[in-house]
Amino acid sequence: MNMVKGLFLGSAAALVAMSGAQAADLPLKAKAVEYVKVCSIYGAGFYYIPGTDTCIKLGGYLRADATFYGSGAYNAPAWAGNAGQKNRLADNYIFRSRQDINIDTRTATEYGVVRTYFDATFNWTTGDAIAGGTLGVYYAFVQFAGFTFGKAVSQFDTPWTGYPGNNTSFLIGGYDDVTGINQVSYTAQFGNGVSAAISLEDQTGYLRSALYNTSGLTNAGFAGGVYGTNSYAGQQIPDIVGQIRVDQAWGLFQVSAAAHQVRASYYNTALETSGHPSDTWGYAVQGAISLKNLPTGPGDSINFTATYSNGATRYVLGGVTGNSFAIYGNSGAGYQSLALAGAADGVFAGTSNLNGTGISKTNAWGVRGAFNHNWNPFWSTSLFGSYTAIDYNGTATAQICATAAGFVCNPDFKIAQIGTVTRWTPVKNLTLSGEVMYTYLDQSYSGLVNLSPGATKPTANYELKDQGVWSGNLRVQRVF
């Protein structure tokens, strides 16, 4: 009996213990779930960040590119380096894969909307010019009460930046800072699409061409369009930029201007007692127009810019283009033919204050544009082109050509480009495109000259002659 009683008591104790354990495992009352809410104030794709009054939008694209017979990714023409030399070190194709991520936040305040924007790219590129993985920060800025602080599109630039209708990043003839410029700017809105802006912008990243001391000119440098020692000093004053824009349903009209300080280091870059030329100022002006809703078809457009600069060549050459060009070809008069050219904001000469000169600025002008036509909702074609001219004044030409003998020496040059791209969008936000472009370097040198170009080229007589090159690009892009 005692044994049976013990069994009952033990079983009861076990049941009490088990029920206590189960009670301890029961979940507490859950907090109310705070669902993400759509924020329709700023357009599609925005959502409220839970627990805040800030709206956020995530976006970006994934892009796969292949460039053929160019000198770099994104259809860079074969106008320099191994590609320009057409030697066996040149790559006949270059691949690039890119993931772009952007984050856009907006918060309504009593002073207006506070906006932040961030855009970064992750790249993998093949080719001898750039190889491997890179990280790029395109935009990172805050906008508040009409002010913009950080890395954003220049106030000098157009909404289409360097892409009036092209895929290539190397359609010159106008300004291009698609990757953004550090700035402090203010934009005033006057209503009916009329606005004006003023800005202080960092010149070191994309707005400086070369500033050559021709006393450092070498035979090999000349063969590559490098006219001496690049002697830009450290930055002192940002570029001062202004813009007036009318943006309406019919299109856009814009006038921009920029002041650019041209400041040399020293006559002898390793010795500050050698002195330096006096600082000077360059400038650039641009007119732009965009026409929409053309009679040729729904969504068709024309985008066009015309730009002029004095001592501010980058505003015409674009930010990603190199300063020097050298394209080789066949010749019946020398070892090979060569078209060479070099761009600079200015040149000077001398090794000290005793024999040094002032800065002679260059002039540049360019036009660039495209006609964009939609065949139907799935197919479109753009025809684009540009023309760029660089003019060295008499003093600058004399300094570059001081030791020239046996050939016509004139550093002025022109570059003409024409191309077309056709795009297929089988489903929304997925586009496949093919582009071809022809680039022609019209130089002003002529005759035979003995040069040591370096790389794989021998020291020999080269015939100075204009050259043209073809390049092509295939692209697949998914936007989200």
Q: What is the DSSP string of 303-367?
A: EEEEEEEES-THHHH-SSS-SEEEEEE--SSSSEEEEEEE--SEEE--SSTTT----EE-EEEEE
The pLDDT of residue 18 is above 80: no
The pLDDT of residue 326 is above 80: yes
| pLDDT classification of 1: cutoffs 50, 70, 90 | very low
Q: Domain limits of the chain? A: 60-479
| pLDDT classification of 3: cutoffs 50, 70, 90 | very low
Residue-level pLDDT at 29: 55
Residue 288: which residues within 8 A CB-CB, separation 6 or more? 158, 252, 253, 254, 255, 256, 303, 304, 305, 306
Closest listed residue to residue 366, CA positions, set 317, 330, 436: 317
Residue-level pLDDT at 462: 98
Q: What is the mean pLDDT of residues 369-378?
A: 98
Model confidence pLDDT, tens digit, residues 403-427: 999 999 999 999 999 999 999 999 9
| pLDDT classification of 129: cutoffs 50, 70, 90 | low
Residue-level pLDDT at 31: 55
Model confidence pLDDT, tens digit, residues 51-70: 999 999 999 999 999 999 99
The pLDDT of residue 396 is above 50: yes
Residue-level pLDDT at 123: 96
The pLDDT of residue 19 is above 70: no
Joined together, the tokens standing for residue 310 give: 């004095």
| pLDDT classification of 35: cutoffs 50, 70, 90 | confident
Residue-level pLDDT at 30: 53
Q: Are strands 211-213 and 346-348 parallel, antiparallel or unpaired?
A: parallel
Q: How far is the C-alpha of 218 from the C-alpha of 143, rounded, in Å?
A: 48
Residue-level pLDDT at 205: 78
Q: Which residues pair with 388 in a beta bridge?
A: 366, 415
The pLDDT of residue 7 is above 70: no
Residue-level pLDDT at 99: 98
Q: Which residue has the tokens 């295939």?
A: 474
Residue-level pLDDT at 27: 53
| Class of domain 60-479 as given by CATH | mainly beta
Tell me the pTM: 0.91
Model confidence pLDDT, tens digit, residues 257-277: 999 999 999 999 999 999 999
The pLDDT of residue 170 is above 80: yes
Element holding 84 (H helix, E strand): helix 81-85
Residue-level pLDDT at 4: 35
Model confidence pLDDT, tens digit, residues 438-451: 999 999 999 999 99
Q: What is the mean pLDDT of residues 191-217?
A: 95
Average per-residue pLDDT for the chain: 92
Q: How far is the C-alpha of 134 from the C-alpha of 91, rounded, in Å?
A: 20
